[in-house]
Chain A
Amino acid sequence: MGLLSDPNRRKALTNLLTRLNAPICMVCYLAAIVWFMGLAFEPFTLRTYMSENAMGSTMVEERFSSGERALSLAKEFDAHKTKAGGMPVEWLVKAMQARGLEVFTQSFSRKLPFPDENKERYMVRGTNVYGILRAPRAPRTEALVITAPCSPGNSNNQAVGLLLALAQYFRNQIFWAKDIIFLVNEHDLIGMQAWLEGYHHTNITGMEYSPLQGRAGSIQAALSLELSSDVITSLDLILEGLNGQLPNLDLANLFYAFCQKLGVLCTIQGKLQRNDWDTAEGYTHAAQTMMLMVLKQACGRSWGDHGLFLRYHIEAASIRGINGFRHYKMDVATIGRLLEGMVRKLNNLLERLHQSYFFYLLPSLSRFVSIGYYMPAFGLLAVILLLRVSFPGLMLHVCFSVSLQPSGPGVLTVLTPVVISHLTGVALYLLPVHLQEMAVEHFPVSETEAVVLTAVAIYTAGLALPHNTQRLLSGEGTEQGWKVLKLTALLYLAVLLGCTALINFSLGFVLAVTLVPITASMTPHMPKALSALAMVLLSPAFTILYCVFIYQELIEAPVSVSEGWMLFLSVISQGILDHALYGSLVYPLLALFVYPCWLMFWNILFWS
């Protein structure tokens, strides 16, 4: 450490960093991008393997054979669903009771903050039905959950049919060590949230629900089923949960192992696995799969019913049946066997799934990128911010000015823009939902449009607001003033992105890629119009817009600009709804922290 304590060497180092600051930053940025794209390259990734001993070596024989029964139950369920115009509660209760389960129901109701136009719901009222298979000679301390949503229309009947057929088959077996809960939830995630909150007796989202009568101890793992057709060609595994949480990688490994064993075609992000990693197409394919995962994780919403379990430390995944690859038809009994195998292995667990990774990216089902491999990509971006803190003169200048005049205008000039930026953020967070009634009164829009357009309006108004704020107090902005502000803003952004990336790497990385280049180079002396345009184009809102387009491109459903704009608006409304309904944190993070931080840099640009 002579490097730091020896003044000469320290000076040399500082000189180097000061002189080569910009080139080093550029190299870091490029290296980060290259590193990230390299993660999808197969030789750089690790092969997945089962870490959990209890699931690895134990032999499990699958015997489920009532596929036909599952389909006929699905038809029956469909008929009763149509008749009841929703969840056929009585029929389900009877059906589960007839299979020897302890059956309970839970009713819930939820008024959404504003109508959800994607799913066309506002006042939601529903009933969950669940049956508990009590394991013989088990003391009700551990449980597994299998869920199937009761969806409107024709979808998901097969999942409920298979659930009931599995319940019947499982009930006759003696080997269960954990209770198994078979849950049919209404109104997909809202019902799931009500059930989970009821089970754990919490209320974090203001849901109204009737208390649960039957419980089965601490839930160890959960599987959610989504099957909408009699003919299934492949199964898709969905892992991304609320706030970008992922289940333990062993759950994905388990699914993959059984797909291999039973010869079932399996996909992740709807993409099949390819073996030609050394070709350009092979690489692009893996990169696309990984990018899809990054985008899905970054948006922080629950991509299936499983996603809400993760908050309660319950490892969960959704399995969705796809009918898209013609030549690989498989019958429902095979899916039943796959689930039987998975549940039996989970039943063998002695401890919660904890052996394998919780932080990972999957370029394919058989390859994974662990946190140790992807974090450097983010680290390289974060280093840029720290390097810019030691930008020529900035650090020293600020330190001196603050130490010389501790209560001088230096502190005040920083405080005002910081406070005003954050107040704008608070407005962006609070006003859209609260002002919807007023907006609907005065403008010819629906509530949902009102909320989204208010958000966009406040976002845009924020751009006009704060760049003159410092003049309110200290007249002209001083050279020293913007440097202090920039130092604060850089440190703020570094901490913010660092924390975000630790919790949700994808979100942190996506934000860093767009925010870092422009914020790192921002000074008031740049050409105003050009840099203003660049800043706006790299602002958080535009990041979301780009993500929408890239996502559509990746799922091979490209959209035109106007469609993209509509999608963008719906993404915003979904983000606000996700926050209100399930406690997703992406909207408050963006509104209360990222946007104000960006506004601080915007302020620097217009410092004069």
Chain B
Amino acid sequence: CSHHPGKARDQFQEELVIRPLHSGDIYASFQFRTLWDTDFLQERQKVSHYRLFPKSLGQVLSKFSVRELHISFTQGFWRTMQWGQPFIPSPPGAELWVWFHDTVSDVDGNWKELTNVLSGIFCASLNFIDLTNTVQPSASFKPLGLGNATDHRFLRYATLPREIVCTENLTPWKKLLPCGSKAGLSVLLKSEKLFHSSFHSQAVHIRPVCQDEQCTSKAWELRQTLNVVFDLYTSGQGKKEWSLFKMFSRTLTEACPLATSSKVYVDITDNPELFELSPATPLLSQAVVLGDRRTYSVFDLTRAETFGQLRSLNLLLRWKGDSGMLRPLLHAERYVAGFGLQTGEIHTVIYNNHPYRAFPVLLMDSVPWYLQLYIHTLTVTSKSRDNKPSYIHYQPAKDRHRPHLLEMLIQLPPHSMTEVTVQFERALLKWTEYTPDPNHGFYVGSSVVSALVPSMVAMNTNFTQDQPLFSSFVPVKEESSYFVRVYTEPLLVNLPTPDFSMPYNVICLTCTVVAVGYGSFYNLLTRTFQVDEPSLPLAKRLANLIRRIRGVPLLA
């Protein structure tokens, strides 16, 4: 029945992109898209019959009136300098951002419940998201789907930089797929290989999109993406030779029967100078992705001839040449400067490597309250000159209630390095507020740099159904630039930490000092000492009385 998309109101596509990276590593990006033209938010009509769309997510959408939901779990840091831009970026740890429908009255309440439900669905610690790490960015996270909601009261954004992603998160993610891990591309998702890599990121994006080109009706799109980078040395044994089997310890034998399209793309733009691909395929496709026109070999899994006589597809890539470091147009990094446990300085460095074009970027920083930012020390310098941001949105933290939020629109001069610095003081926490491993340090989530980067080639602004999935996630509005989001590394900051093995000693010492030392000194200081004169016998006192009247010296 899946071959009749006109009849069924939902459809499923799957796609794998393999991109050999300059460093010799290899990047594999899976995208699974389920499209369903129904409306979860309609009041009257409750959606109860699910086919391809996972019921667990559909129910969540309608219960919490979610307009758009983006959640990612990432283990590792995307190395922009070696790998270039990823198709869909994500910060280390977990990231969740949700646009609620504007009919929601208690957004915070919905958000709290939603995070707890998602925590259960994905077996993750999303329940640790609360008001102390949630922010409402005013400009950095616009909705990616239909509708132009701009009121950021309905947006919630939170990251958990410490979240560790492992097989227990992969399994529930795979269960959301129509074919599970039984058939199609998802047979490649074996955790022992996916977690033997340099980078692993899995995400779920739900948004309303146009159903067709004319955009007459709305459909809900669920995109499940999984990005993984295999390392040349630890997975590839140092040999620049990759195959599906070497990467995933599986080969492909069939498409998911429920999928309307199932394709494997291999980026062969650098072919044949850099590497060779076998088996060769006559199908080629061109796509403009991230400001660059790339050529792909396409392997359509719905066709029998793709698998050849062996009835299995095992792509083989062999490098021939060698290439150096990349210079991505936009690149950012961050670190903590200074030493000691009292103050510090957060440095965010943003590079514009475009030779002649300046472009603006939106920098968003969400810093926990226990780093008390001195916002008056905020400086932005480019080419050793002061660079005044054209827009600043700063929301100061409230101790134990909400984090700092700093958003700035900065113009990056061409071929420059822009440095944003702000000093902070480390707060002394209450003793119950420390984590069980306080000496590990405390995390500060990645800062987010969003930009429209000038493109080298004209971007494709037409939205068509047959575009490859990886090139159509972020809608392109103009031909000359494309949208990029860059995440910096999270920070690990040590706070002043008491020695927790000491309370007993401290209590003993304090009690002793207070009882013995302070008590007696206080006594000595406040007591008035008087010389105690021995009382005279009665006879002498009488004699003195008489002598006083007489005016002669008294007896002692």
A interface, CB within 8 angstroms of B: 1, 4-5, 7, 100, 102, 134, 136-142, 171-174, 200-202, 215, 217-218, 311-313, 350-352, 354
Contacts and interface: CB of A to CB of B under 8 A. Distances in A.
Contacts of A217: 335, 489, 491-492
B208 interface: no
Contacts of B497: 354
Given A202-B338, A218-B494, A136 B440 contact: no
Contacts of A171: 233-234
22 contacts: A1-B523, A4-B520, A5-B520, A5-B523, A5-B527, A100-B232, A134-B198, A137-B75, A137-B76, A139-B490, A141-B441, A172-B233, A173-B234, A202-B339, A217-B489, A217-B491, A218-B441, A218-B492, A312-B339, A351-B439, A351-B440, A352-B441
A171 B161 CA distance: 25
Given A5-B520, A215-B335, A174 B490 contact: no
B519 A139 contact: no
Query: Which of A141, A142, A173, A202 has the most chain B CB atoms closer than 10 A to its own CB?
Result: A141
The 5 lowest CB-CB distance pairs between A and B, nearest first, are A139-B92, A201-B337, A1-B520, A351-B439, A137-B76
Contact of B199 (A7, A137, A141, A215): A137
B89 to A, nearest CB: 14
A16 B233 CA distance: 78
B215 interface: no
Contacts of A354: 439, 497, 499
B491 A136 contact: no
Contacts of A140: 77, 92, 489
Contact of A352 (B234, B443, B494): B494
A172 B196 CA distance: 12
Contacts of A138: 76-77
B76 A215 contact: no
Nearest to A314: B339
B516 interface: yes
A585 B24 CA distance: 49
Nearest to B499: A354
B333 interface: yes
A28 to B, nearest CB: 22
A351 B437 contact: yes
Interface in B318-355: 333, 335-341, 345, 347
B338 A201 contact: yes
A33 B339 CA distance: 37
B420 to A, nearest CB: 13
A7 B335 CA distance: 63
Contact of B82 (A4, A7, A102, A173): A102
B248 interface: no
Nearest to B230: A136
Nearest to B446: A139
A487 B78 CA distance: 66
Contacts of B336: 218
A352 B439 contact: yes
Given A200-B339, A217-B492, A354-B497, 18 more contacts: A1-B519, A7-B529, A102-B81, A136-B198, A138-B77, A139-B76, A139-B489, A139-B490, A140-B92, A141-B441, A141-B443, A141-B489, A172-B238, A174-B196, A174-B234, A200-B338, A201-B338, A218-B494
Nearest to A3: B520
Interface of B: 75-77, 79, 81-82, 92-93, 161, 195-200, 231-234, 237-238, 333, 335-341, 345, 347, 437-441, 443, 489-494, 497, 499, 516, 519-520, 523-524, 527, 529
B494 A136 contact: no
Given A1-B516, A139-B489, A201 B82 contact: no
Contacts of B491: 141, 217
Tell which of B199, B345, B492 has the most Cβ of chain A within 10 Å.
B492
B459 to A, nearest CB: 31
Contacts of A218: 336, 441, 492-494
Nearest to A218: B492
A7 B530 CA distance: 11
Contacts of A134: 77, 79, 198
Given A173-B234, A201-B347, A137 B494 contact: no
A5 B75 contact: no
A313 B490 contact: no
Nearest to A204: B339
Contact of A136 (B76, B335, B340, B520): B76
A141 B337 CA distance: 14
Given A138-B76, A139-B77, A139-B92, A350 B440 contact: yes
A352 B338 contact: no
Contacts of B520: 1, 4-5
A225 to B, nearest CB: 23
A137 B440 contact: no
A212 to B, nearest CB: 9
Contacts of B438: 351
Contacts of B493: 218
Contacts of B519: 1
A134 B339 CA distance: 24
Nearest to A217: B492
Contacts of B335: 201, 215, 217
Contacts of A174: 196, 234
A580 B517 CA distance: 43
A5 B520 CA distance: 8
A354 B75 CA distance: 27
Given A5-B524, A201-B345, A137 B337 contact: no
Contacts of B196: 174
Pick the most buried of B161, B198, B237, B523: most chain A CB atoms within 10 A of its CB. B198
Given A137-B75, A139-B161, A215-B335, A4 B524 contact: yes
B528 to A, nearest CB: 12
A312 B493 CA distance: 13
A73 B404 CA distance: 50
Contact of B234 (A7, A136, A139, A351): A136
Contact of B231 (A7, A102, A136, A351): A136
B468 to A, nearest CB: 27
A283 B433 CA distance: 48
Contact of B333 (A215, A311, A352): A215
Nearest to B444: A141
Contacts of A173: 234
A137 B200 contact: yes
Nearest to A54: B437
A202 B524 contact: no
Contacts of A4: 520, 524
Contacts of A215: 333, 335
A172 B441 CA distance: 29
Nearest to A143: B492
B319 to A, nearest CB: 14
A174 to B, nearest CB: 5
Contacts of A142: 492
B93 A136 contact: no
Contacts of B232: 100
Of the listed residues A7, A136, A202, the one surrounded by the most CB atoms of chain B closer than 10 A to its CB is A136
B82 A352 contact: no
Contacts of B238: 100, 172
Contacts of A311: 339
Contact of B440 (A1, A7, A172, A352): A352
Contacts of A1: 516, 519-520, 523
A456 to B, nearest CB: 35
Nearest to B532: A7
Nearest to B531: A7
A312 B494 CA distance: 11
A218 B493 CA distance: 8
A172 B234 contact: yes
Contacts of A100: 232-233, 238
A313 B339 CA distance: 8
B530 to A, nearest CB: 11
A365 B238 CA distance: 41
A139 B79 CA distance: 10
